[in-house]
Structure 1
Protein backbone atom coordinates (compact mmCIF):
# COMPACT_ATOMS: atom_id res chain seq x y z
CA UNK A 1 0.00 0.00 0.00
CA UNK A 2 1.20 3.54 -0.74
CA UNK A 3 2.40 5.71 2.10
CA UNK A 4 -0.23 8.02 3.56
CA UNK A 5 0.91 11.55 4.40
CA UNK A 6 -0.98 14.54 5.79
CA UNK A 7 0.16 18.17 5.40
CA UNK A 8 -0.56 20.71 8.12
CA UNK A 9 -0.03 24.45 7.72
CA UNK A 10 -1.92 25.81 10.77
CA UNK A 11 -3.03 24.28 14.06
CA UNK A 12 -2.74 20.79 12.58
CA UNK A 13 1.05 21.31 12.78
CA UNK A 14 1.18 21.41 16.59
CA UNK A 15 -2.18 19.81 17.37
CA UNK A 16 -2.67 17.05 14.81
CA UNK A 17 -5.13 15.02 16.89
CA UNK A 18 -4.12 11.71 15.29
CA UNK A 19 -1.35 9.13 15.59
CA UNK A 20 1.55 9.31 13.16
CA UNK A 21 4.78 7.40 12.71
CA UNK A 22 6.90 10.16 11.20
CA UNK A 23 6.85 13.97 11.26
CA UNK A 24 8.92 16.32 9.12
CA UNK A 25 8.93 19.94 8.17
CA UNK A 26 7.81 20.10 4.56
CA UNK A 27 7.46 22.57 1.74
CA UNK A 28 4.57 22.77 -0.68
CA UNK A 29 4.96 24.98 -3.74
CA UNK A 30 2.10 26.75 -5.45
CA UNK A 31 0.20 27.44 -2.22
CA UNK A 32 0.63 29.85 0.67
CA UNK A 33 -0.64 30.09 4.26
CA UNK A 34 -3.16 32.95 4.41
CA UNK A 35 -5.83 34.42 6.66
CA UNK A 36 -8.29 34.03 3.82
CA UNK A 37 -11.20 32.20 5.46
CA UNK A 38 -14.00 34.14 7.14
CA UNK A 39 -14.83 32.56 10.48
CA UNK A 40 -18.52 32.75 11.34
CA UNK A 41 -18.28 30.63 14.50
CA UNK A 42 -14.91 30.04 16.17
CA UNK A 43 -13.22 33.43 15.67
CA UNK A 44 -16.09 35.65 14.61
CA UNK A 45 -19.78 35.68 13.81
CA UNK A 46 -21.81 35.97 10.65
CA UNK A 47 -22.38 39.67 11.49
CA UNK A 48 -18.69 40.26 12.31
CA UNK A 49 -16.60 37.49 10.75
CA UNK A 50 -13.08 36.82 11.90
CA UNK A 51 -10.28 35.33 9.83
CA UNK A 52 -8.67 31.91 10.03
CA UNK A 53 -6.00 30.22 7.98
CA UNK A 54 -6.45 28.64 4.62
CA UNK A 55 -4.01 27.21 2.13
CA UNK A 56 -4.49 29.46 -0.89
CA UNK A 57 -3.00 29.46 -4.39
CA UNK A 58 0.32 31.16 -5.03
CA UNK A 59 3.74 31.18 -3.43
CA UNK A 60 5.00 28.42 -1.17
CA UNK A 61 4.23 27.21 2.34
CA UNK A 62 6.41 25.56 4.93
CA UNK A 63 4.43 23.29 7.22
CA UNK A 64 4.46 19.81 8.71
CA UNK A 65 4.14 16.45 6.96
CA UNK A 66 2.88 13.51 8.99
CA UNK A 67 3.25 9.92 7.81
CA UNK A 68 0.40 7.78 9.07
CA UNK A 69 0.57 4.01 9.50
CA UNK A 70 -1.43 2.18 6.80
CA UNK A 71 -3.69 0.58 9.43
CA UNK A 72 -4.72 4.06 10.66
CA UNK A 73 -5.37 5.60 7.25
CA UNK A 74 -9.19 5.32 7.26
CA UNK A 75 -9.50 6.48 10.86
CA UNK A 76 -7.26 9.50 10.23
CA UNK A 77 -9.00 10.53 7.01
CA UNK A 78 -12.40 10.30 8.76
CA UNK A 79 -11.04 12.44 11.61
CA UNK A 80 -9.57 15.03 9.21
CA UNK A 81 -12.78 15.29 7.22
CA UNK A 82 -14.81 15.82 10.40
CA UNK A 83 -12.30 18.48 11.55
CA UNK A 84 -11.64 20.32 8.30
CA UNK A 85 -14.79 19.96 6.21
CA UNK A 86 -17.40 21.24 8.68
CA UNK A 87 -18.57 24.08 6.40
CA UNK A 88 -16.90 22.76 3.23
CA UNK A 89 -14.76 25.88 2.85
CA UNK A 90 -11.81 23.57 2.23
CA UNK A 91 -11.23 21.12 -0.59
CA UNK A 92 -9.38 17.88 0.07
CA UNK A 93 -6.39 17.61 -2.26
CA UNK A 94 -3.27 15.45 -2.66
CA UNK A 95 -0.32 17.80 -3.01
CA UNK A 96 3.36 17.13 -3.68
CA UNK A 97 5.62 18.01 -0.74
CA UNK A 98 9.37 18.33 -0.45
CA UNK A 99 10.92 16.91 2.73
CA UNK A 100 14.26 18.16 4.13
CA UNK A 101 15.98 14.84 3.34
CA UNK A 102 15.21 15.33 -0.36
CA UNK A 103 12.24 12.99 -0.60
CA UNK A 104 9.14 14.07 -2.46
CA UNK A 105 5.84 12.73 -1.14
CA UNK A 106 2.17 13.35 -1.85
CA UNK A 107 0.02 14.37 1.09
CA UNK A 108 -3.60 15.04 1.86
CA UNK A 109 -4.04 18.78 2.42
CA UNK A 110 -7.01 21.06 2.80
CA UNK A 111 -7.01 23.94 0.32
CA UNK A 112 -9.43 26.86 0.51
CA UNK A 113 -12.34 26.79 -1.94
CA UNK A 114 -12.23 30.20 -3.61
CA UNK A 115 -15.88 29.85 -4.69
CA UNK A 116 -17.11 29.38 -1.10
CA UNK A 117 -18.91 32.26 0.65
CA UNK A 118 -16.33 32.15 3.47
CA UNK A 119 -13.41 32.86 1.15
CA UNK A 120 -12.13 36.34 2.03
CA UNK A 121 -9.63 36.66 -0.81
CA UNK A 122 -6.07 37.92 -0.71
CA UNK A 123 -6.08 40.64 1.93
CA UNK A 124 -3.15 42.89 2.64
CA UNK A 125 -1.72 42.82 6.18
CA UNK A 126 -3.53 45.98 7.32
CA UNK A 127 -6.94 44.84 6.03
CA UNK A 128 -6.48 41.47 7.76
CA UNK A 129 -5.31 43.18 10.97
CA UNK A 130 -8.40 45.40 11.07
CA UNK A 131 -10.61 42.29 11.03
CA UNK A 132 -8.47 40.24 13.43
CA UNK A 133 -8.27 43.12 15.91
CA UNK A 134 -12.04 43.29 16.55
CA UNK A 135 -13.46 39.82 15.87
CA UNK A 136 -14.50 37.37 18.59
CA UNK A 137 -16.15 33.97 18.24
CA UNK A 138 -17.08 30.93 20.30
CA UNK A 139 -13.42 29.89 20.60
CA UNK A 140 -12.31 33.36 21.67
CA UNK A 141 -10.76 36.50 20.20
CA UNK A 142 -9.46 36.36 16.66
CA UNK A 143 -6.21 38.06 17.65
CA UNK A 144 -5.45 35.27 20.16
CA UNK A 145 -5.73 32.73 17.32
CA UNK A 146 -3.34 34.72 15.12
CA UNK A 147 -0.82 35.46 17.90
CA UNK A 148 -0.87 31.80 18.99
CA UNK A 149 -0.35 30.61 15.42
CA UNK A 150 2.63 32.91 14.95
CA UNK A 151 4.15 31.85 18.29
CA UNK A 152 3.87 28.17 17.35
CA UNK A 153 5.38 28.79 13.93
CA UNK A 154 8.34 30.56 15.54
CA UNK A 155 8.78 27.68 18.02
CA UNK A 156 8.93 25.32 15.07
CA UNK A 157 11.49 27.49 13.28
CA UNK A 158 9.06 28.49 10.53
CA UNK A 159 9.03 32.11 9.44
CA UNK A 160 5.85 33.58 7.97
CA UNK A 161 6.58 37.20 7.10
CA UNK A 162 3.01 38.02 6.05
CA UNK A 163 1.56 36.73 9.33
CA UNK A 164 4.26 38.68 11.19
CA UNK A 165 3.11 41.81 9.34
CA UNK A 166 -0.50 41.15 10.33
CA UNK A 167 0.52 40.91 14.01
CA UNK A 168 2.60 44.10 13.70
CA UNK A 169 -0.41 45.89 12.20
CA UNK A 170 -2.70 44.64 15.00
CA UNK A 171 -0.22 45.99 17.56
CA UNK A 172 0.03 49.30 15.68
CA UNK A 173 -3.77 49.61 15.60
CA UNK A 174 -3.89 49.10 19.36
CA UNK A 175 -1.19 51.68 19.99
CA UNK A 176 -2.99 54.30 17.92
CA UNK A 177 -6.43 53.66 19.41
Structure 2
Protein backbone atom coordinates (compact mmCIF):
# COMPACT_ATOMS: atom_id res chain seq x y z
CA UNK A 1 0.00 0.00 0.00
CA UNK A 2 1.14 3.52 -0.73
CA UNK A 3 2.40 5.30 2.39
CA UNK A 4 3.36 8.81 3.37
CA UNK A 5 6.99 7.76 3.58
CA UNK A 6 7.01 6.28 0.08
CA UNK A 7 5.63 9.50 -1.36
CA UNK A 8 8.18 11.63 0.51
CA UNK A 9 10.96 9.33 -0.70
CA UNK A 10 9.92 9.80 -4.32
CA UNK A 11 8.65 6.24 -4.84
CA UNK A 12 5.65 7.29 -6.93
CA UNK A 13 7.87 9.27 -9.29
CA UNK A 14 10.29 6.34 -9.41
CA UNK A 15 7.52 3.98 -10.56
CA UNK A 16 6.52 6.35 -13.35
CA UNK A 17 10.14 6.87 -14.37
CA UNK A 18 10.36 3.15 -15.16
CA UNK A 19 7.60 3.43 -17.76
CA UNK A 20 8.08 3.15 -21.49
CA UNK A 21 7.99 6.92 -21.82
CA UNK A 22 4.46 7.04 -23.21
CA UNK A 23 3.22 8.86 -20.10
CA UNK A 24 4.65 12.39 -19.82
CA UNK A 25 5.82 13.27 -16.32
CA UNK A 26 5.81 16.62 -14.57
CA UNK A 27 9.07 17.70 -12.98
CA UNK A 28 9.21 18.21 -9.22
CA UNK A 29 9.34 21.94 -9.92
CA UNK A 30 6.18 21.78 -12.04
CA UNK A 31 4.34 19.76 -9.40
CA UNK A 32 5.36 22.17 -6.66
CA UNK A 33 4.38 25.17 -8.80
CA UNK A 34 0.93 23.67 -9.38
CA UNK A 35 0.53 23.17 -5.64
CA UNK A 36 1.57 26.74 -4.85
CA UNK A 37 -0.78 28.11 -7.50
CA UNK A 38 -3.75 26.26 -6.01
CA UNK A 39 -2.90 27.31 -2.47
CA UNK A 40 -2.59 30.93 -3.62
CA UNK A 41 -6.30 30.79 -4.51
CA UNK A 42 -7.29 29.24 -1.18
CA UNK A 43 -9.85 30.94 1.06
CA UNK A 44 -8.45 32.28 4.35
CA UNK A 45 -7.75 29.77 7.11
CA UNK A 46 -7.28 26.03 7.02
CA UNK A 47 -7.22 24.02 3.79
CA UNK A 48 -9.87 21.44 2.94
CA UNK A 49 -9.19 18.48 0.62
CA UNK A 50 -11.96 16.41 -0.99
CA UNK A 51 -11.34 12.67 -1.29
CA UNK A 52 -13.53 10.46 -3.46
CA UNK A 53 -11.35 7.37 -4.02
CA UNK A 54 -8.30 6.00 -2.24
CA UNK A 55 -7.83 9.27 -0.33
CA UNK A 56 -10.89 8.22 1.70
CA UNK A 57 -9.27 5.08 3.08
CA UNK A 58 -5.58 5.92 2.65
CA UNK A 59 -5.15 9.70 2.92
CA UNK A 60 -1.38 9.58 3.72
CA UNK A 61 -1.57 13.12 5.14
CA UNK A 62 -1.88 14.59 8.61
CA UNK A 63 -5.21 16.33 9.13
CA UNK A 64 -7.15 17.88 11.99
CA UNK A 65 -10.70 16.91 11.02
CA UNK A 66 -12.65 14.97 8.45
CA UNK A 67 -16.29 15.20 7.42
CA UNK A 68 -18.61 13.45 5.03
CA UNK A 69 -19.40 15.77 2.14
CA UNK A 70 -21.00 15.98 -1.28
CA UNK A 71 -19.89 17.85 -4.38
CA UNK A 72 -22.46 18.88 -6.99
CA UNK A 73 -21.61 18.96 -10.67
CA UNK A 74 -19.20 15.99 -10.68
CA UNK A 75 -19.46 12.24 -10.38
CA UNK A 76 -16.96 9.47 -9.59
CA UNK A 77 -15.98 7.18 -12.49
CA UNK A 78 -13.21 4.80 -13.52
CA UNK A 79 -11.81 6.85 -16.38
CA UNK A 80 -8.00 6.90 -16.06
CA UNK A 81 -5.78 4.13 -17.40
CA UNK A 82 -2.80 3.15 -15.26
CA UNK A 83 0.03 1.14 -16.77
CA UNK A 84 2.12 1.39 -13.62
CA UNK A 85 0.82 1.73 -10.04
CA UNK A 86 -2.09 -0.72 -10.17
CA UNK A 87 -1.52 -2.06 -13.64
CA UNK A 88 1.20 -2.92 -16.14
CA UNK A 89 1.73 -2.30 -19.87
CA UNK A 90 0.43 -5.79 -20.70
CA UNK A 91 -2.63 -5.46 -18.45
CA UNK A 92 -3.37 -1.80 -17.63
CA UNK A 93 -5.66 -0.92 -14.77
CA UNK A 94 -8.16 1.86 -14.19
CA UNK A 95 -8.30 4.58 -11.54
CA UNK A 96 -11.09 6.86 -10.42
CA UNK A 97 -11.49 10.44 -11.51
CA UNK A 98 -14.12 13.12 -11.13
CA UNK A 99 -16.09 13.66 -14.33
CA UNK A 100 -18.54 16.48 -15.03
CA UNK A 101 -22.20 15.92 -14.20
CA UNK A 102 -24.22 14.55 -11.31
CA UNK A 103 -22.89 14.62 -7.76
CA UNK A 104 -20.30 12.80 -5.69
CA UNK A 105 -20.19 11.86 -2.03
CA UNK A 106 -16.86 11.58 -0.28
CA UNK A 107 -14.78 12.86 2.61
CA UNK A 108 -13.25 16.29 3.20
CA UNK A 109 -10.10 16.59 5.28
CA UNK A 110 -9.17 19.79 7.11
CA UNK A 111 -5.46 20.56 7.04
CA UNK A 112 -4.31 23.24 9.51
CA UNK A 113 -3.02 26.33 7.72
CA UNK A 114 0.37 26.03 9.41
CA UNK A 115 0.85 22.56 7.87
CA UNK A 116 -0.83 23.21 4.54
CA UNK A 117 2.27 23.74 2.41
CA UNK A 118 3.91 20.49 3.51
CA UNK A 119 0.81 18.30 3.57
CA UNK A 120 -0.52 19.56 0.24
CA UNK A 121 2.88 18.99 -1.34
CA UNK A 122 2.55 15.33 -0.32
CA UNK A 123 -0.87 15.17 -1.97
CA UNK A 124 0.43 16.78 -5.16
CA UNK A 125 3.38 14.39 -5.39
CA UNK A 126 0.88 11.55 -5.07
CA UNK A 127 -1.80 12.76 -7.49
CA UNK A 128 -0.04 15.04 -9.96
CA UNK A 129 3.03 13.09 -11.09
CA UNK A 130 1.81 12.88 -14.68
CA UNK A 131 -0.70 15.73 -14.73
CA UNK A 132 -3.63 13.34 -15.16
CA UNK A 133 -5.78 15.45 -12.84
CA UNK A 134 -6.65 19.13 -12.64
CA UNK A 135 -6.72 20.52 -9.09
CA UNK A 136 -9.80 22.67 -8.65
CA UNK A 137 -11.55 24.45 -5.78
CA UNK A 138 -15.08 23.10 -5.35
CA UNK A 139 -17.94 23.69 -2.94
CA UNK A 140 -18.58 20.73 -0.64
CA UNK A 141 -21.77 20.42 1.37
CA UNK A 142 -21.36 18.86 4.82
CA UNK A 143 -23.68 18.43 7.80
CA UNK A 144 -21.69 21.15 9.56
CA UNK A 145 -21.99 23.60 6.71
CA UNK A 146 -20.37 24.15 3.30
CA UNK A 147 -16.61 24.25 2.82
CA UNK A 148 -14.42 25.20 -0.11
CA UNK A 149 -12.07 22.31 -0.89
CA UNK A 150 -9.47 21.17 -3.39
CA UNK A 151 -10.60 18.28 -5.59
CA UNK A 152 -8.71 16.49 -8.33
CA UNK A 153 -10.76 16.53 -11.54
CA UNK A 154 -9.87 14.21 -14.41
CA UNK A 155 -7.82 15.84 -17.17
CA UNK A 156 -9.65 14.86 -20.35
CA UNK A 157 -6.70 15.95 -22.46
CA UNK A 158 -4.35 13.50 -20.76
CA UNK A 159 -2.96 10.62 -22.81
CA UNK A 160 -4.27 8.11 -20.23
CA UNK A 161 -7.82 9.45 -20.15
CA UNK A 162 -10.08 6.46 -20.84
CA UNK A 163 -13.33 8.23 -21.63
CA UNK A 164 -16.61 6.41 -21.00
CA UNK A 165 -16.05 2.65 -21.03
CA UNK A 166 -18.71 -0.04 -20.86
CA UNK A 167 -19.47 -1.50 -17.44
CA UNK A 168 -18.32 -4.90 -18.71
CA UNK A 169 -14.92 -3.62 -19.79
CA UNK A 170 -14.40 -1.73 -16.54
CA UNK A 171 -15.25 -4.81 -14.47
CA UNK A 172 -13.00 -7.08 -16.54
CA UNK A 173 -10.13 -4.60 -16.24
CA UNK A 174 -10.47 -4.16 -12.49
CA UNK A 175 -10.67 -7.91 -11.92
CA UNK A 176 -7.37 -8.55 -13.68
CA UNK A 177 -5.06 -5.52 -13.39
CA UNK A 178 -2.24 -5.49 -10.85
CA UNK A 179 0.95 -3.48 -10.36
CA UNK A 180 3.58 -2.48 -7.78
CA UNK A 181 1.02 -0.57 -5.68
CA UNK A 182 -1.48 -3.44 -5.60
CA UNK A 183 -4.41 -4.61 -7.67
CA UNK A 184 -7.40 -2.70 -8.98
CA UNK A 185 -9.93 -5.05 -7.40
CA UNK A 186 -8.73 -4.09 -3.91
CA UNK A 187 -8.76 -0.42 -4.89
CA UNK A 188 -12.41 -0.70 -5.93
CA UNK A 189 -13.50 -2.87 -3.00
CA UNK A 190 -11.79 -0.66 -0.41
CA UNK A 191 -13.43 2.43 -1.87
CA UNK A 192 -16.90 0.87 -2.09
CA UNK A 193 -16.65 -0.66 1.40
CA UNK A 194 -15.57 2.59 3.04
CA UNK A 195 -18.27 4.59 1.28
CA UNK A 196 -20.82 2.08 2.53
CA UNK A 197 -19.46 2.29 6.08
CA UNK A 198 -19.79 6.08 5.93
CA UNK A 199 -23.38 5.81 4.73
CA UNK A 200 -22.57 7.25 1.30
CA UNK A 201 -24.72 5.69 -1.41
CA UNK A 202 -23.02 4.97 -4.73
CA UNK A 203 -25.13 2.29 -6.38
CA UNK A 204 -23.05 1.99 -9.60
CA UNK A 205 -19.87 1.48 -7.58
CA UNK A 206 -21.53 -1.09 -5.34
CA UNK A 207 -22.83 -2.97 -8.38
CA UNK A 208 -19.35 -2.85 -9.92
CA UNK A 209 -17.86 -4.25 -6.70
CA UNK A 210 -20.25 -7.21 -6.83
CA UNK A 211 -19.39 -7.95 -10.45
CA UNK A 212 -15.63 -7.67 -9.89
CA UNK A 213 -15.83 -9.95 -6.86
CA UNK A 214 -17.71 -12.48 -9.00
CA UNK A 215 -15.06 -12.32 -11.73
CA UNK A 216 -12.23 -12.66 -9.21
CA UNK A 217 -13.89 -15.67 -7.58
CA UNK A 218 -14.32 -17.30 -10.99
CA UNK A 219 -10.55 -17.08 -11.58
CA UNK A 220 -9.75 -19.01 -8.38
TM-score normalised to structure 1 length: 0.90
Give 1:120-159 correspondences, 5 Å limit: 120-159=162-201
- Compared with structure 1, are the counterparts of its residues 142 and 104 closer, same or farther at alpha carbon in structure 2 (3 Å cutoff)? same
Match for residue 109 of structure 1? 151
Structure with greater proportional strand content: 1
Deviates more, 1:88-97 or 1:124-133: 124-133
Superposed CA RMSD in Å reads: 1.8
C-alpha contact (below 8 Å) 1:126/1:166 kept by paired residues: no
TM-score normalised to structure 2 length: 0.74
- 1:21-50 CA deviation, whole Å, 9 max, x = no partner? 221101001111111111111111133211
In 1: Cα distance, 2:84 partner to 2:148 partner: 31
- Compared with structure 1, are the counterparts of its residues 104 and 172 closer, same or farther at alpha carbon in structure 2 (3 Å cutoff)? same
C-alpha contact (below 8 Å) 1:125/1:169 kept by paired residues: no
Correspondence 1:34 to 2:77: yes
Match for residue 143 of structure 2? 100
Which consecutive unaligned segments of at least 5 residues does structure 1 have?
A: none
- 1:33-71 CA deviation, whole Å, 9 max, x = no partner? 111111111111133211111111111110111111110
Match for residue 160 of structure 1? 202
Deviates more, 1:150-159 or 1:92-101: 150-159
Structure with greater proportional helix content: 2
In 1: Cα distance, 2:111 partner to 2:191 partner: 24
Which consecutive unaligned segments of at least 5 residues does structure 2 have?
A: 1-43
